[in-house]
Amino acid sequence: MVTIRSNARGTGNPDAERPGASIDRTIRGNQEANQRTGERVKMAQDLDKLTQEIQNSILAEERKIYSEKVVELFLNPKNLGQIKDADGVGVVTGPCGDTTQIWLRVRDDKIIQVRFLTDGCGPTISCGSMLTEFVKGKGINEVLKITPDELTLSLGGLPESHLHCSLLSVNTLRAAIRDYLASKREPWKRLYNVRKPSL
């Protein structure tokens, strides 16, 4: 006589699962996955908070050194970029190793568009931004009279260790104007793109 022993699950099959066990495992798996996702989200939020705190700390230190105008233009620079087929291009590398490039669009000896790029520090970016805003719509002769001191004053001043930033911007603008005047005298240069290299 053969005796069939029933297991605790009551199916008579020792390998059979209780009803709903598969659903329970899926629910547990989803709960564990949600917990891991929640932990990752919290880590990301903590990292974002730490990053913001570091940025705020850096900005607070910068504001002790630089004027609000310098910080504002460094964070939100104006006129960044290039001008295709510009009428004048200037590239200058300063004594600190920073390079600035300025592009001009000129009509009737008046600057109607100006762009700049630099690989320099925050004050260099601020100087380029302020200068390019200042010269838009002005005549070439008027622009040539701008001095580094005037640019520095318009930014609310610069530390002595960064005064060369305003000099770099003004010298680059003058180089772009010289390029414009040279190509105006010798327009054939534009046909052969005899210009200074880009950054």
Give the residue, 25 or 175, on which the prediction is more confident.
175
The architecture in CATH of the region 74-191 reads Alpha-Beta Complex (3.90)
Angle, CA 191 vertex, CA 190 and CA 193 arms, to 5°: 60
pLDDT of res. 150:
97
Instruction: Give the number of other Cβ atoms within 10 Å of residue 168's Cβ.
Output: 26
Options 135, 146, 165, 176, the catalytic residue: 165
- Is the pLDDT at 122 greater than 80? The verdict is yes
Active site (annotated) includes residue 165: yes
Q: How many helices (H) and strands (E) does the chain have?
A: 7, 3
Q: What is residue 32's predicted lDDT score, i.e. its pLDDT?
A: 77
What's the whole-number average pLDDT of the chain? 85
Q: Pairing mode, if any, of strands 88-93 and 99-107?
A: antiparallel
Show me where the domains of the chain are located: 19-65, 74-191
Say which of 65, 83, 96, 121 is annotated catalytic: 96
Q: Is the pLDDT of residue 56 over 80?
A: no
Q: What integer pLDDT is reported at residue 18 of this predicted model?
A: 65
127 tagged catalytic: no
pTM of the model: 0.71
SS3 state of residue 93: strand
Q: Which of 12-16, 72-76, 92-96, 187-191 has the lowest mean pLDDT?
A: 12-16
